[in-house]
Amino acid sequence: MATAMGVFTVDLRVTRPGHRDQLFVMANGPYVTRHVGIAVIECGEFKTVDEVVFAQPGDLSLLGARTLEGFNARVDSRKKRLIAAGPVPAAGVRSHGR
């Protein structure tokens, strides 16, 4: 299912639809409950698996920070596109003299 997220089009394949309900507090104060599930999310060359919140009519469509981190991408606001964020830091294991 392709979904428009502002200037981005995201392909969303739900693997566990609405497996639980989650309570959220909105920026202006009210509480809302939404279904939460797991999906494979793709945008161009970027792909990740993440939890998703299923919007109801009138809700905004947002691409969250966790998804961008999973894509290892950042937003180029001038060109209005996602670009690679660069190498992913990795931890090394040190030998303790053995």
Domains along the chain? 2-84 (2.40.70)
Query: Dihedrals φ, ψ of 45, to 5°?
Result: -85, -5
- Output the 3-class SS for the chain: CEEEECCEEEEEEEEEEEEEEEEEECCCCCEEEEEEEEEEEEECCEEEEEEEECCCCCCCCCCCHHHHHHHCEEEECCCCEEEECCCCCCCCCCCCCC
Q: What is the pLDDT of residue 5?
A: 56
Q: What is the pLDDT of residue 63?
A: 75
Quick check: 16 pLDDT over 80?
Answer: no
Q: Give the predicted TM-score (pTM) of the model.
A: 0.65
What is the Cα–Cα distance from 21 to 78, expressed in whole angstroms? 37
State the pLDDT confidence band at 23, using cuts at 50, 70 and 90. very high
More confident site: 96 or 43? 43
